[in-house]
Chain A
């Protein structure tokens, strides 16, 4: 049972553009929503995370938008750079269990 649905599967953006990746969840017990970045041959690295008590969180070029009523959240990468080319995963956790449910991933390619 896929509890976190992620789209698109792949995304190609020009350098300087905005990359947007979307996720939707089903389990209303989820209360922690991180985004991870993964390069080939590496483990996932935490980018940014949000809790449902805020609708937006920004860290540098990365912003999470969160819509609790729609059970959706998204990652925006501003001024995308070729070095941002990687696979991005959304995830969710409930009650600080630290047992993440991941989306299926989005392969981002930023063209120079």
Chain B
């Protein structure tokens, strides 16, 4: 059962710009994780938010930042965009207890020119 939504679907930015991606997690899910999926590769963990606090971070620079709101929706912000930031950005939510299952949204395709 999935219900994770992401916006926008596609986005085109130029190098050096900033971007904000949004995720609405499934109802009742208090844990949100963000992943970057480059073309032809597996998703890479960026960071996770649990009850509005960052709860783990992968090997990504500080220009990747995030927020989680009281309704558990989340934002991913990327500053000073680089060409290599072009990827599919995936949001995944989880109930946070009694299950390790994560439910992924459809992703936002970011193209940096």
Query: What's the tally of chain B residues with a CB closer than 8 Å to chain A?
Result: 26
| Stretch of B38-46, B60-68, B78-86 that contacts chain A | B38-46
Cβ-defined contact, B40 with A101, below 8 A: no
Query: What's the tally of chain A residues with a CB closer than 8 Å to chain B?
Result: 24
B35: chain A residues at CB < 8 Å are 100, 102
B90 within 8 A of A: yes
Cβ-defined contact, A45 with B104, below 8 A: yes
Interface set, chain A 38-56, CB cutoff 8 A to B: 41-46, 49
Cβ-defined contact, B42 with A46, below 8 A: no
Chain B residues close to A by CB (< 8 Å): 2, 4, 31, 33, 35, 40-45, 48, 56, 58, 90, 92, 94, 96, 100-107
Sampled A-B contacts (22; CB under 8 Å): A36-B104, A41-B106, A43-B4, A43-B90, A43-B92, A43-B107, A44-B43, A45-B104, A46-B102, A49-B101, A89-B42, A93-B100, A97-B56, A98-B94, A99-B45, A100-B35, A100-B45, A102-B35, A102-B42, A103-B42, A104-B42, A105-B41
